[in-house]
Every structure is written in C-alpha cells, then in structure tokens.
Structure 1
Amino acid sequence: MEHDHGWREVEPDGETRWPMAAAVVVAMGVTISLPSDLRLGGPWVLPVISGLLLVALLAGDPGRISRRTTELRVASVALITVLSVGAMWSTFRLVVDILDAGPTTDSATELLQASACVWLGTVIACALLYFELDCGGAAARAERMPRSPDLAFPQQLNPGVGPDGWRPHFVDYLYLGLTNATAFSPTDVMPLARWAKMVMSFQAVTSLVITGLVVARAVNVLR
C-alpha cells in the first residue's frame, strides 16, 4: 500500500545476510594483512572477535534478516563497533606513520598497499554503520519502512523509479560508503538524520586525509 512522501508498507521478508557477512570477512582479511604498527592488537585479535560475533548473528538469525531481538541487536552493534574502532585506529596510525616518516612509508609499494587496506577497511566499516543504523536496522526495515528515512535513496525520493515496496539492502549501503569515500561528499544518497550527516562527513574527511597524505608521501618516496 502506497502513501504520501514515497512511504510504503512492505511485507516482512528480510534481506539475505550473506552480502553483509561477506563484507565482514573481507574486513577481517584486511585487518590481518595490515602491517603490525597499523593494527590494533595482534593479527588475530579483532578478526577472532568479529568472527565470533558474526557466527552468533548467523546462528541467531540464519538466512534472511527478519528477527528483531535485543540479543541480535547487541551482537550486530558490537560487531560493527569492533570493525569501526579497528578502522579508526588503523587510519590514525597510518596518518602518524606518514607524518613521522615511519617504516611503513619508506617504500612506495608498502605505503600504497597499507593505505589501500586502511581505506577499504573504513569503507566497509562505514557501510556497515549505515546498514545498521538507517531506519533501525535491516530487520526493522523489512518489517516497516518509515515515512522519513535517515538516508534517502533515489527510489525513496522518487518512488516511480523503483519497484513497489523497494527498500535498501546492504549492497546499497556499500555503494553509499564507496561513493562517499571517493567523491568526498554525498552523491545520489542524501543524509537526512544528524547521525548520518556526521558519519558521512567523518568518512569524507578521513578519505580525503588518507588520499592527500598518501599521494604526497608517495611522491616524496619516489623522488
């Protein structure tokens, strides 16, 4: 049933969890591949914690994301917090390493590989944040899309361009994280909630700092 402002009730048919789980596994691999001075803790600390939380989510709500329980919500928020803290720490250490001409920045190849891992980790962490916080999370979105979303996708701003009952899935949030990190600003997805504006601003500034400092340091190393 369609209402004003592009809001629609949708059937409680949750999206599959596997794209989100695959992104978490990639983030775990990125953490393991980081140089030791850019990693928070040992090579397996954050990946093991993330893996256990992911297994708990898959066991508690396998297949499609449709259950809304306090335990699942806590596990999901904890998982994203672990990945976000790890990404922020790696970004901070990379910036310090570049400014202090640390060992990771002595080689252009190592610098580019490390910075690519850090940048990818921030993209995935932010995509998971958008995915978990927008409209109360995937399970809440499957049950009911609100009249005023936190993040407005083109299909919500102009319902005529999307199918009836359209709602964003993880791939849409991953696309948002990628485009925001490369354009340093919103593209086709508009942040409406204050938290969304803050996270997107932080991601854009972080991506800009990483790109600018890495390019400048790589030029100096190659001279």
Structure 2
Amino acid sequence: MQNGDRTLNDHRARALQRFPRHERRGEARLPAVLATLAAILLYLALPGQLLVVPRYVLPALEVLLLIPLIAVNPRRMTRQNRLSRTLSLTLVGLIGVSNLAALGLLVDAMVTERADDGGSLLLAALQVWATGIIVFGLAYWELDRGGPVVRTQVDRSELPLADFRFSQDENHDAVEEVADGASRSCDWVPTLMDYLYVSVTNSTAFSPTDTMPLSTRAKALMAVESIAALITSLLVIAHAVGVLD
C-alpha cells in the first residue's frame, strides 16, 4: 500500500510540474464567445414561424449580456463577481429558453402541418438540435464545480461539489501515461470542450456515456436535453423527410 501511495505521489509531482492547473491563468475566453455567437447566429437563421419575438430582439439582448462578460475577462477567465456570474447564467438561460421555445413551435408546425416546405423544416430542426448541443454544453460548463473561474482559481479542496464525474476523475490508478493526466495526479479540471463533448454524446445517445451526472440539477438538465434531442430527431426530422418524399 505504501509503495502504491509513493508511486501515486511520484506521478502527481511529475505531472504537476508539467501541468499546473492552467498555470492559474484561467480558461481561455474565446471558445465560449465563439460557442455563444454560433448559438445566436443559428437562432437568427431560423424561419420566422419559429420566433416568439421579432428576430433581432433576443440576439441583441444576448450580445448585450455577452459584452460585459468579455470586458471582465477579455482573454483568460480569472475574475468573477456576483454580477458577472448572474449575467453569464442569464445569458445561457436566455439562449436555452429561446431554443426550447423554437422547438415547441417547430413541433406545433409539424403537428398542424403549417410548414410549407419540408426542406425548410428539416433545416430548422438541425439548427435547433445544434443550438441545443451548444447551450447545454455551456450550461454544464457554467454550473459544474462552481463554473469556469472557480475551477481554475480555487484550490481543489475548496471546490464546490462536482455536478459531473469525468473519466479523468477516476484514472489515478491506471497505467502511468493515463494516470499522469488524471485529476488527482495533475490537478486536471474540465474545460468547455469537455462539456460540449458531454452535450454531444447526450444528445445523440439520449443518455450519459463516459461522463456521469452526479447532482440533481445535472441529471435534470441532461434529461431535458435528451428529451429535446429525441423529439427533434425522431419526430421533427422524420416528418420533414416524409414531406420531402
């Protein structure tokens, strides 16, 4: 047992020298900005019948929420206060609610057969599905372990409870080249790409794959995403393909 602990400590010391947790620089801001802008552009491209308010109202509001977040952390996410935290959660919530509303209108158009063009309906379904992947990935990223700023700026012993368990959180006793990248060994924490991957797998498999939800809110979010993706894939797209035939 002592030899095993000594080996683990050696792995951890070696890995920490190579991989300090982002060197306390914080996670890069650019990927989140690009993901948010992609979701906004996808919404702007939706057919008018799937919009609950005039086309540019929600995108303009979302951009207004994004600007101060960029101003607080223009390059690396190292600072956070109550206002910036509220703005970031509001931004994700707004994108998510508007996308679910678009999905509801899309299903209504399918059921009542108000869609004039099956190809347009199919494209809209793909836009809603892609936006769902982005927004749920952002939601997981914002909520897990206190959010992106806390995950890199707070000691691991002070991190809030995890919402997700990644494979890296269990790899400390694996072979050396795997253990060196584990959470316990090198102080690894997930980034936006990890959460987008969770969102992609959940929206395609309709269930967790290699990353498990731990908290009630994580399970609830993954359940909503799975149901939305299932509706989009099996009902809306199937109807659109039927119209095209």
TM-score norm. by structure 2 comes to: 0.82
Match of 2:108 in 1: 96
5+ residue gaps, structure 2: 1-7, 173-178
Match of 1:185 in 2: 207
Pick aligned residue for 1:81 from 89, 93, 112? 93
1:132 matched to 2:132? no
The SS at the match of 1:158 is helix
1:69 matched to 2:88? no
The SS at the match of 2:74 is coil
Cα contact 1:38–1:94 (8 A) shared by 2: yes
Match of 1:162 in 2: 181
Cα contact 2:145–2:160 (8 A) shared by 1: no
Q: Which amino acid aligns with 1:125?
A: V
Cα contact 1:127–1:176 (8 A) shared by 2: yes
Query: Percent identity over the alignment?
Result: 35
Identify, as 1 or 2, the structure richer in helix. 2
Ranges of 4+ aligned residues in structure 1 off by more than 4 Å: 8-11
Once residues 153 and 216 of structure 2 are traced to their aligned partners in structure 1, the CA distance between those partners, rounded to angstroms, is 23
Pick aligned residue for 1:120 from 119, 127, 130? 130
Once residues 119 and 147 of structure 1 are traced to their aligned partners in structure 2, the CA distance between those partners, rounded to angstroms, is 31
5+ residue gaps, structure 1: none
Pick aligned residue for 1:45 from 51, 57, 61? 57
Structure 1 vs Structure 2 CA RMSD: 2.1
Once residues 97 and 130 of structure 2 are traced to their aligned partners in structure 1, the CA distance between those partners, rounded to angstroms, is 14
Match of 1:152 in 2: 165
Match of 2:196 in 1: 174
Which stretch shows the higher mean deviation, 141-150 or 85-94?
141-150
The SS at the match of 2:109 is helix
Once residues 170 and 52 of structure 2 are traced to their aligned partners in structure 1, the CA distance between those partners, rounded to angstroms, is 40
Once residues 236 and 89 of structure 2 are traced to their aligned partners in structure 1, the CA distance between those partners, rounded to angstroms, is 31
TM-score norm. by structure 1 comes to: 0.90
C-alpha displacement at 1:46, in angstroms?
1.1
Once residues 17 and 40 of structure 1 are traced to their aligned partners in structure 2, the CA distance between those partners, rounded to angstroms, is 30
Once residues 110 and 170 of structure 2 are traced to their aligned partners in structure 1, the CA distance between those partners, rounded to angstroms, is 42
C-alpha displacement at 1:213, in angstroms?
0.7
How many correspondences in the alignment? 217
- Give CA deviations for 1:136-180 in whole Å, capped at 9, x if unaligned: 100110123438521111111223162512111111111111111
* Structure 2 CA distance for partners of 1:66 and 1:162, relative to 1, 3 Å: same
The SS at the match of 2:77 is coil
Q: Which amino acid aligns with 1:211?
A: S
User: Which structure's CA Rg is the greater one?
Assistant: 2
Which stretch shows the higher mean deviation, 141-150 or 201-210?
141-150
